[in-house]
């Protein structure tokens, strides 16, 4: 089984990625278990930050690496919080303060539409010139009062009109299937299959 370093310390993401990689005979190893520190995320796009994290983890370990960068983008705010989603209200990141800041920022706007975005990057080595990149979007709108006990981050305030509930009110099974990360994982799965078929 080939080892792959996961450039994340998020327990939920680590579980999802382990399931994603298992059919391809990849063993998912958290970067912390290999002594890899979190990479800087200096860029303004999710894809660039995910690529930086994947290359950093691969460079330190010499292993293939998988990384993601994700967040929420409000239409009326020009895409903010965007890549700053986890630290929107400052360091250290705090979900309650982040949500308060987003709701306050949207009060002066009639348009409360927003979407979650996820970029996944898989590199076979640190200098891989052809990384596998998969993205996913999940559209909804921001509401002023939280609903639901599940999820994390902005989920209790992220309303899905077609489902009549927030992301925090969905079961984990449904959320993982229809979310931005779920869509990106599905696409990356197809790209991994194609890569393996090319390699024979």
- The predicted pLDDT at position 200 comes to 62
By the 8 A CB rule, do 28 and 49 touch?
A: no
Task: Please report, for the chain, the start and end positions of each structural domain, with discontinuous segments joined by +.
Answer: 2-199
pTM of the entire predicted model: 0.90
The dihedral through the CA atoms of 136, 21, 83, 128 has a sign that is: negative
Residue with tokens 């639901």: 148
Topology of domain 2-199, per CATH?
Answer: Maf protein (3.90.950)
| Four-point Cα dihedral 46, 51, 54, 59, nearest 10 | -150
Residue 69 appears among annotated catalytic residues = yes
| Continuous segment of H or E residues that includes residue 134 | strand 132-142
Encode pLDDT of 94-142 as tens digits.
Answer: 999 999 999 999 999 999 999 999 999 999 999 999 999 999 999 999 9
Q: Which of 69, 95, 128, 155 is catalytic?
A: 69
Token digits for 70? 């994700």
Radius of gyration of the chain from its Cα atoms, rounded to whole angstroms: 17
Encode pLDDT of 186-197 as tens digits.
Answer: 899 899 888 877
**Residue 73 pLDDT exceeds 80:** yes
């Amino acid at each position: 089984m080939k080892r792959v370093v996961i450039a994340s310390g998020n327990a939920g993401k680590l579980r999802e990625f382990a399931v994603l990689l298992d059919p391809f005979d990849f063993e998912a190893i958290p970067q912390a278990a290999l002594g890899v520190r979190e990479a800087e995320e200096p860029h303004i796009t999710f894809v660039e930050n995910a690529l930086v994290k994947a290359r950093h983890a691969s460079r330190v370990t010499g292993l293939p690496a998988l990384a993601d960068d994700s967040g929420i983008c409000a239409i009326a705010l020009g895409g903010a919080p965007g890549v700053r989603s986890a630290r929107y209200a400052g360091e250290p990141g705090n979900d309650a303060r982040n949500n308060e800041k987003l709701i306050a920022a949207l009060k002066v706007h009639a348009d409360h539409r927003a979407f979650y975005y996820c970029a996944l990057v898989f590199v076979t080595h640190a200098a891989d010139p052809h990384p596998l990149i998969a993205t996913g979007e999940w559209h909804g709108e921001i509401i002023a009062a939280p609903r639901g006990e599940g999820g994390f981050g902005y989920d209790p305030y992220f309303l899905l009109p077609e489902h009549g509930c927030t992301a925090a009110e969905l079961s984990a099974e449904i959320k993982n299937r229809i979310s931005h990360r779920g869509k990106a994982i599905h696409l990356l799965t197809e790209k991994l299959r194609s890569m393996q078929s090319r390699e024979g």
